[in-house]
């Protein structure tokens, strides 16, 4: 098998594994009518947020010690944060326990490894992103211009949950995104870096 074909085959397998993982975790947690789109989107976002860190590697310097937890900071409703907490309960990601932090103080944002910014009234998105600029913090949001502001992953709902990825914002900070994660994105900015062009 040619190298290019082999790489494509490997990525397809990884994509199927990731899709399978997401579906395996998500389906048991949903008891909704098909037309209940807002709640379905809510559950899907919680599931994605709980699983995406499994497909991202942080530089060792992002953690103060080998036993330090992976901190997921959430600026959204408590119900959403509780849903993510349930999904990561007793789990370890890259050998680290996961701590969910709801709306930490601005001065504490640099301690986050994942920063999720929901679309909420009066949420100064850019101010939060500025706080973690230059730090290996995986930023995830929902607003239409989230990637334009320097965010890394944007969730959007169109029949089902989709995401766009700003790969070129993550790479300089030492964050390594698994090709399987990138293959699920609707668009990937800086994808030429993945392909070696």
pLDDT of residue 6: 44
For residues 135 and 110, the answer to whether their CB atoms sit within 8 Å is yes
Q: Domain 3-195 adopts which CATH fold?
A: Rossmann fold (3.40.50)
pLDDT band at 121 (very low <50, low <70, confident <90, very high): low
- Whether pLDDT at 19 is above 60: no
Considering only residues 129 and 29, tell me which one the structure prediction assigns the higher pLDDT.
Answer: 129
| DSSP track, 47-69 | HHHHHGGGGEE--GGGSSSTTPP
pLDDT band at 166 (very low <50, low <70, confident <90, very high): very high
Q: What H or E segment, with its residue span, contains residue 18?
A: helix 3-26
Global model pTM greater than 0.75: yes
- HEC string of 130-171 equals HHCCCCCCEEEECCCCCCCCCCCEEEEEECEEEEEEEHHHHH
Q: Tell me the average pLDDT across 110-134.
A: 88
pLDDT of residue 1: 46
Summarize pLDDT for 32-88 with one digit per residue, the tens: 333 343 454 678 899 999 999 999 999 999 999 999 999 999 999 999 999 999 999
Q: Tell me the average pLDDT across 77-105.
A: 95
* Angle value at C-alpha 48, between 44 and 54, nearest 5 degrees: 160
pLDDT band at 125 (very low <50, low <70, confident <90, very high): confident
Across the chain, mean pLDDT equals 82
Q: Tell me the average pLDDT across 135-161.
A: 94
């Amino acid at each position: 098998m040619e190298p290019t074909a082999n790489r494509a085959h490997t990525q397809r397998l990884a994509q199927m594994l990731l899709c399978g993982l997401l579906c395996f975790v998500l389906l048991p947690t949903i008891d909704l009518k098909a037309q209940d789109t807002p709640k379905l989107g809510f559950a899907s976002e919680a599931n994605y947020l709980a699983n995406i860190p499994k497909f991202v590697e942080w530089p060792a310097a992002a953690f103060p010690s080998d036993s330090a937890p992976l901190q997921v900071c959430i600026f959204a409703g408590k119900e959403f944060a509780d849903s993510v907490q349930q999904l990561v309960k007793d789990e370890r990601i890259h050998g680290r326990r996961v701590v969910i932090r709801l709306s930490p103080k601005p001065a504490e944002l640099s301690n986050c490894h994942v920063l999720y910014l929901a679309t909420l009234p009066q949420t100064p998105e850019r101010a939060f992103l500025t706080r973690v600029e230059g730090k290996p913090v995986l930023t995830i949001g929902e607003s239409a211009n989230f990637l334009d502001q320097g965010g890394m992953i944007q969730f959007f709902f169109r029949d089902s949950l989709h995401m766009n990825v700003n790969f070129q914002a993550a790479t300089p900070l030492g964050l390594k995104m698994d090709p399987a994660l990138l293959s699920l994105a609707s668009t990937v900015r800086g994808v030429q870096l993945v392909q070696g062009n």
